[in-house]
Structure 1
């Protein structure tokens, strides 16, 4: 048996409620012949009369009454759902690809401001240590660590690489901050040499000598763990400006040496076109927050 064509349902419900083809037509902004046609279609679909003519209108047959009992609440529920969906449309989801350090230390403390400013946008953060820029879709955003010269296509420098040795105040008081002797906390890299400042490069460029710099101390493969170990008083780490600024301002960490900057690399903002308004809002937000 073929399924019933239900395109006539709303017209039938209106006729059943009004008891008049002309009143139903007026309510639906249709002509009376159009309403009559839909009623004939309904009766042809079901094979029985649904209406009978009476003085000044129509009334339901027994089959029509049974059908109205089913369809009237169903159409009302559909209308209610439509009103809810129109009042609360699905939020536009923006995907932001970045690494664990940037998402945990820079982005999360600022996300409340993004939600307050753009309540109709949903931000999906995808944390990964290796974002393939070629896989970004239209409207996707990536914040990656790298050198400007190595990125194909347009990108913007969000945070320049600037590092400073940091430790807890208690560690500085108990052990001092002489980098030639202090236990060092390292962020390991799968590349040699690392594309960021590591302890060997930092000590060399600041004129300090420590042959065992990379061999001694604690080693971690994610920067969040480096900071956790530093906060636990395990030694001195290289703190990235922009990621640990709030910890310095709250005296959770203190500087234990001079800053070192590489203006040609850092966290880069990448978006592939075409740029829709929602993705443009995210770009503006990230740039404005980095300027703080």
Structure 2
């Protein structure tokens, strides 16, 4: 669930709890410079140092400790109040958590169909690059990418990971299918190991693990929507996730160029948190109907 924006206060409390700027940055999905900036802002407000940098990590100064004692309990109470308010029965607001690729390429082009069938329900789409099932609140719905063992037995597979190389039609006519090494490759950056198929794993899956990849002039992007935009613009060959790019294939703005690979047990899963109310159940059933046959 998205936390209430408390500015430097939440950042300061997280640094105090963890004793590390980098750990606080990871917990808050911020960069370390952003965390440092917020701490400096707080120190300017109070006119005194609040943290002391150590060889490894940081510790609070005496003034920082006094401030932490006041703020930490307040932040916790604010978060609990926000959870209660957001989870009140009878509210007609549904929160759907997912990533940028699913929301931009699959959800937004068709969410109007759910709204037309359920005019009294408001949808809040919360897109993030990082999925955390542990942050879901009662009645929240999530569509997360990963493997079944990560989400548990109650998760339902909506779309299996099915991948095929794709490019713009004009580019396809100039290159032979099945030889990615002759293309400029478009990579989707990720943490190592990648939670999704990357080019090396794709080639290994089709029996071309020893095939050399183009080692220079490639394009690396950090969001999948940009990968698809680049592919449609003729910038190179990308890995296309079926379900997300089917509309582009049907319209001919992208064409497949190579073998399709399916990874059983991996893909987009419908994830929830405990019992759900009637409105939440309608959204889950709609997602299942819309993705029927894609697993």
Q: Same fold by TM-score, threshold 0.5 exceeded? A: yes
Superposition deviation, residue 153 in structure 1: 5.3
Contact 1:167 1:235 in 2 (8 A): yes
Does the 8 Å contact 1:91/1:120 carry over to 2?
A: no
Aligned residue pairs total 202
Deviation, 1:214, is: 6.9
Query: What CA distance in whole angstroms lies between the structure 2 residues aligned with 1:249 and 1:289?
Result: 17
Residue 215 of structure 1: CA displacement? 6.0
Query: Partner of 1:113 in structure 2?
Result: 113
Q: Which residue of 1 aligns with 2:282?
A: 281
Residues 71-86 of structure 1 mapped to structure 2, 5 A cutoff: none
With 217-226 and 166-175 compared, the bigger mean Cα shift is at 166-175
Contact 2:98 2:143 in 1 (8 A): yes
TM-score, normalized by length of structure 1?
Answer: 0.66
Q: Distance in 2 between matches of 1:106 and 1:235?
A: 22
**So what's the TM-score if we normalise by structure 2?**
0.65
Instruction: Give the whole-Å Cα distance in 1 for the aligned partners of 2:216 and 2:143.
Output: 31
Quickly say closer, same or farther: Cα 1:238–1:227, change in 2 above 3 A.
Answer: same
Gaps of 5+ in 2: 1-89
- Structure 1 unaligned regions, length at least 5: 1-89
- Across the aligned residues of Structure 1 and Structure 2, the Cα RMSD in angstroms comes to 1.7
Distance change >3 Å, CA 149–CA 214, structure 1 → 2:
farther
> Which structure has the larger Rg?
1
Give me the whole-angstrom Cα distance separating, in 1, the residues matched to 2:204 and 2:266. 19
Match of 1:245 in 2: 246
Is the Cα–Cα contact under 8 Å of residues 200 and 213 in structure 1 kept in the other structure? no
Q: CA deviation at 1:216?
A: 5.2
- Distance in 1 between residues matched to 2:112 and 2:100, nearest whole Å: 18
Partner Cα separation in structure 2 for residue 113 and residue 150 of structure 1: 30
Q: Are 1:96 and 1:143, in contact at CA under 8 Å, matched by a contact in 2?
A: yes
Determine helix, strand or coil for the equivalent of 2:108. Answer: helix
Q: What do residues 198-245 of structure 1 show as CA deviations (whole Å, max 9, x unaligned)? A: 000111121224333576511011101100100110011000000000
Going from structure 1 to structure 2, the CA distance change for 1:239 and 1:276 (only over 3 Å counts) comes to same
- 1:129 equivalent in structure 2: 129
